[in-house]
Structure 1
């Protein structure tokens, strides 16, 4: 019996050594994987804080332009003959702002740039059942409202629409003049951010949020996004929230 044990001792020692070494390697791997996952998670969280700030900053550009249009209109006694010049200057350096509009009496009367947005001319915001709730709410609140993201009829792009009513108070009584409107393309908001995300080693997907439908509307995503091992973040925007998903390459 003792001879058999002696013969098997090297084999037993080998297996014990193998198990110890294998367990150690597994422990090191799990430790490394946990550390790597934490590092990726921390990196993703830091990146998302930066992205959220930039998205909200770009959206706030729309608010600024809406108010600037109204100020220029009032300074020019509600005459829009120089609208194209104002619009060109207001859009300069604002990559998220895609289109500026005036809607006198609620009917779109000025658009810039004109060629790609001319189909919006004559659109009656107060009679369009798809848009009148937001328009009437803006008049009631006498403040800025955000609609969307919605898919635009003229080009199929997702856009966020910032709209504010204009009141002419130069006479004895305040009178509704129309709307100042700014359209922000989601693609425009994401354009400068996408390269930053990819450079940091991530792919992304951006979805809208609608509690009334099961499928979230897809607003934008990078071409190599696969949807595996992802981290999900909420991005609060004026009209609700977007769902932003990061995926490690």
Structure 2
């Protein structure tokens, strides 16, 4: 947690359980035999956790690298879809397009596009126009519905009436390419007719390099399946299937008309030390009784203190009661001229569908992950708390020079922590957050006023266009500076 532990003086008001309550009835009868078994269990379990942590850290790093690669790849491909649609609009509006018009539009669209090989028009699904023409003449006259490589993807695009990614395939001009096929319908005499297709061809190797495939392949054995965006059941796109499917790190790439599935495993394998070789195993084993009993008591007391001090057991964040106490302290300090602060109020956009689709257990898991990310996204001294349900509050101390850009950067950092995908039951779940910001003393000097104004700003952010961040009132840098400065 980024902020300090909640004050412990309140614990006394709840300490009604006997001090020995952590010992379950009858447990002492088995102490003689249980000492050795409990000590052995903790020793082996601690060693195994060390092994698993090493593996988990490595898997997390690989997962992050795959996610970054996927994001860059999807961005490039969907940019080409937008380009194809833009060209298609010209065809539909004009019920066709002349060669000169096509070259003018294509030249403008391809400006500074290193990953794109060409744009083409295929009326009747036969390529008649292509830009640039130089080096691509071999593709002219290609019938997409008769070509055995192109046919299936084109038929899917027609059937779905949506863009479909085809490939990678070997081009007749040489080299490998991906192609986005967009079917077009043209109204003629008031009757929609299938005109043909607009295509964007992407240089496969250039696209993969710009997305970062070479960095991945230096240390990882990469396998990509789903040729023609056919998903996990499709043919290999790149590399080989993982040697151990269960242990490989996997992530989907969402593409026009389908997806790819990327699998990765270290080239040198998943190495981890045997449990008995981990540091401290023999020491833990020799001190098994002391470690076992002390751990049980410490964990019990820690949970009790957190609960009594106002901790939320699900997210390990302060709860509403403690957050309001902290807010009151910050207001009191501010009234004495010690410092100002900002209050960020938000709830999770898209959280209810997660509960409805996967159940409350999945929703609890999502909240726990979000709580951990929020703790990691704020500075030491900032306060992040769960106010109830999917509602959160962040209290950020501010310097006199803190302006709107600085506060917005803090809010965007919190949003970024929330927006990262979370694995839930084999699926990647993404939620967002709309954030309302109120400042002390500009927006009020009472807790209820600041909370209300932050909530109002949050609801404006949900329906506004300011990247999901709204202020209760505009930030004026000069308003918080001493007079005469």
TM-score by length of 2: 0.38
Per the alignment, residue 63 of structure 1 pairs with 81
Is the alpha carbon distance of 1:189 and 1:242 closer, same or farther for their aligned partners in structure 2, counting shifts above 3 Å?
Answer: farther
Query: Could you tell me whether the CA contact under 8 Å between 1:148 and 1:239 is conserved in 2?
Result: no
Query: Could you tell me whether the CA contact under 8 Å between 1:101 and 1:110 is conserved in 2?
Result: yes
Taking only aligned residues, the RMSD between alpha carbons, in angstroms, comes to 3.8
Is the alpha carbon distance of 1:151 and 1:217 closer, same or farther for their aligned partners in structure 2, counting shifts above 3 Å?
Answer: farther
Distance (Å, rounded) in 2 between the aligned partners of 1:41 and 1:134? 34
Distance (Å, rounded) in 2 between the aligned partners of 1:127 and 1:196? 35
Per the alignment, residue 173 of structure 1 pairs with 191
Query: Could you tell me whether the CA contact under 8 Å between 2:92 and 2:184 is conserved in 1?
Result: no
- Provide the secondary structure at the position in 2 that maps to 1:174: strand
Distance (Å, rounded) in 1 between the aligned partners of 2:161 and 2:124? 15
Is the alpha carbon distance of 1:133 and 1:42 closer, same or farther for their aligned partners in structure 2, counting shifts above 3 Å?
Answer: closer
TM-superposed CA distance for 1:195, in Å, is 7.7
Distance (Å, rounded) in 1 between the aligned partners of 2:181 and 2:60? 37
1:38-86 superposed Cα distances (whole Å, 9 cap, x missing partner): 4333222222222112212222122211211111223445223222222
Residues 141-180 of structure 1: pairs in structure 2 closer than 5 A? 141-157=160-176, 159-180=177-198
TM-superposed CA distance for 1:234, in Å, is 3.3
The unaligned stretches of length 5 or more in structure 1 are 1-28, 222-226
Distance (Å, rounded) in 2 between the aligned partners of 1:57 and 1:241? 14
1:233 to 243, 250, 275: 250
Query: Could you tell me whether the CA contact under 8 Å between 1:98 and 1:188 is conserved in 2?
Result: no
TM-score by length of 1: 0.67
- Greater Rg, structure 1 or structure 2? 2
TM-superposed CA distance for 1:163, in Å, is 1.0
Asked if 1:48 corresponds to 2:57, the answer is: no
Query: Could you tell me whether the CA contact under 8 Å between 2:80 and 2:180 is conserved in 1?
Result: yes
Query: Could you tell me whether the CA contact under 8 Å between 1:66 and 1:182 is conserved in 2?
Result: yes
Distance (Å, rounded) in 1 between the aligned partners of 2:260 and 2:79? 18
Query: Could you tell me whether the CA contact under 8 Å between 1:149 and 1:208 is conserved in 2?
Result: no
Distance (Å, rounded) in 2 between the aligned partners of 1:190 and 1:116? 22
Which structure has greater strand proportion?
Answer: 1
Per the alignment, residue 208 of structure 1 pairs with 225
Per the alignment, residue 115 of structure 1 pairs with 134
TM-superposed CA distance for 1:101, in Å, is 0.8
Distance (Å, rounded) in 2 between the aligned partners of 1:175 and 1:215? 32
Query: Could you tell me whether the CA contact under 8 Å between 1:207 and 1:244 is conserved in 2?
Result: yes
Distance (Å, rounded) in 2 between the aligned partners of 1:202 and 1:94? 29
Distance (Å, rounded) in 2 between the aligned partners of 1:197 and 1:130? 30
